[in-house]
Amino acid sequence: MNKFLVFALSFIPVAVFSNNALVIEGKYQNKNLYVQNSFASSGVGFCVFEVRVNGEVTTDEVNSSAFEIDLAQRNLKPGDNVSITIKHKDGCAPKVLNPDALKPIPTFETVDINVTAEGLLNWKTKGEQGSLPYIVEQYKWNKWVTVGEVQGKGTANENEYTFNVALISGENKFRVKQVGLNKKPRYSSETSFKNNRKALEFNYDKSKQQISFTDETAYEIYDRYGNLVKKGFGKNVDITNLDKSLYYLNFDNQTTEFTKK
């Protein structure tokens, strides 16, 4: 063999690729991903050498300090599963700048929502694009109060959900909501039911240091500065650890006050 050719071949750089890979999974939300790409630890070339979307190699230009993973050209529909594998060399690691782009956002539409006399809240939705919890809210004490949570199924077809709620005296109003990454909630329509049960009453027993209700109920106790000091569900509330002062009490469908002496 020509000596010059042997000499030249000995200086041809050989890329040694490892099995290192960064994997990101989620749901397509009409957004692309952006990657910060460092130089390889050897100083030759860039860290990333291949990107796959759902197992298929992309044509994204990875030989730069930053690049975009273009999901728009993958014929994906909102809510489709996405798995991205970013293969990189040893001694370095790429950084995805917006990994939350694949996390679900609230997109559901309310098909139906109702509550029964037994306290069973039912709702049916469609158009979900990822699994997010449904937060169940009840209107009482002049505000919407969170009373429970049900995990959403995350599929676009019609989904049905149920949740047992504690009815208050008089009008009961309920709704559900989902909250996305931008913290902006998406609400269902409201449903209501009139409960003819007699309104509950309470009694403050100084000797027992106890608040008693005529039946079990959810309750909240706030101090005079508006700080929540007790919260729960039951028929009796031990207030031994509360200072002598004025307090505001929410229970059943009522907002009132009492003074601990």
The verdict on residue 221 lying in a domain is yes
Q: Are residues 191 and 213 in the same domain?
A: no
Tokens encoding 173: 């109003």
End of a domain among 195, 223, 238?
195
Q: Are residues 82 and 157 in the same domain?
A: no
Structurally, the chain folds into a number of domains equal to 3
How many angstroms separate the CA atoms of 95 and 86, rounded? Answer: 10
Q: Which domain holds residue 207?
A: 202-259
CB-CB neighbours of 190 under 10 Å: 14
Tokens encoding 122: 């039912």
pLDDT at 181: 76
> Tens place of pLDDT for every residue, the chain, 261 residues?
444 333 333 333 333 334 689 999 988 988 999 999 999 888 888 999 999 999 999 999 999 999 999 998 888 988 889 999 999 999 999 999 998 899 888 999 999 999 999 999 999 999 998 889 999 999 999 999 999 999 999 998 999 999 999 999 999 999 999 998 778 899 999 999 999 999 999 999 999 999 999 999 999 999 999 999 999 999 999 999 999 999 999 999 999 999 998
Q: Are residues 168 and 234 in the same domain?
A: no
CA distances to 104, 130, 140, 241, 260 from 236, rounded to whole Å, are: 42, 42, 20, 14, 15
Contacts of 138 (CB under 8 A, 6+ apart): 144, 145, 147, 165, 168, 172, 173, 174
The verdict on residue 1 lying in a domain is no
Which candidate, 44, 52, 46, places its Cα nearest to that of 69? Answer: 52
Instruction: Record the pTM.
Output: 0.76
pLDDT at 253: 96
End of a domain among 142, 166, 195?
195
Q: Are residues 39 and 117 in the same domain?
A: no
* Cβ–Cβ < 8 Å for 92, 45: no
pLDDT at 174: 98
Q: Are residues 74 and 25 in the same domain?
A: yes
Q: Are residues 91 and 114 in the same domain?
A: no
CA distances to 63, 148, 250 from 142, rounded to whole Å, are: 58, 18, 10
